[in-house]
Amino acid sequence: MNAADLEVEVRRLVALILKLPADATDMRRSDVAEWDSLKHMEIVFALEDRYHVQFDESEFAAMTSSSAIAALLQPRLET
């Protein structure tokens, strides 16, 4: 999957967990009130289930937007 497609897919998944319509542009945690810490963990869990990966605890804080998440995911999916 190329980076652009992955970013769209991640954006869709983030919106799904937050129960929001998927944005056409990057979703940033700082801009979305619904994206609180509990929802953040749900997003992490949903990503792990969907892509069969596991994030390190130290990466949770770096997942500040749908594009940042996609960037973290991309190398894992290539291996």
Partner 1 sequence: MRAEWQPRLFGIPDRAALAECVADWPVRDIRVRVHRNHGFEPVASAAAPYAAWNSLAIQWSIGMYDDSLSGELHGDADVDVVWLDTARLTGLADGEMAPWLVSRLRQMREQTANPIVVLAWPLAADARESLERAPLTAIHFPDLDAMANALGPRWLDMRAESISGTRLSNRACLLVAGELACRWLPACVLPPIKCIALDLDGTLYAGVLGEDGATAVDLTEAHRMLQECIAAMRRNGVLLALVSRNDRADVDALFAQRHDFPLRLDDFSAVEITWEEKSVALARVATQMRIGLDAIAFVDDNPGELASVASSGPVVTVHAGDDACLTAVALDHVAGMFRWHTTREDVLRDTDLRMSVARATLAAAGASADDYMRSLRPRLEYHVGAIGDVARVADLVRKTNQFNLALTRMSEVDIVRRLERHSGNVVTIALADRLSDSGIIAALVGSCDGDTLHVEEIVVSCRALGRRLEDVMLTRALQLMAEGRAPTQVVFVVQQGARNSPAREWVARYSGNDSLPASCRIAIPIARVAVRTPSTAIVETVRYGETIA
Closest CA to 67 of 18, 17, 16, 14: 14
Stretch that binds partner 1, among 23-31, 36-44, 66-74 (CB under 8 A): 36-44
Residues 55/72, Cβ–Cβ less than 8 Å: yes
Stretch that binds partner 1, among 9-17, 22-30, 63-71 (CB under 8 A): 9-17
CB of 25 to partner 1, least distance (A): 21
Interaction of residue 17 with partner 1, rule CB under 8 A: yes
C-alpha distance from residue 41 to each of 50, 59, 72 (Å)? 14, 12, 15
What is the residue whose two structure tokens read 């792990």?
A: 48
Stretch that binds partner 1, among 20-28, 39-47, 70-78 (CB under 8 A): 39-47
Distance from C-alpha of 79 to C-alpha of 36, rounded to nearest angstrom: 31
**For binding to partner 1 (CB under 8 A), which residues are involved?**
13, 16-17, 37-38, 40-42, 44-50, 55-57, 60
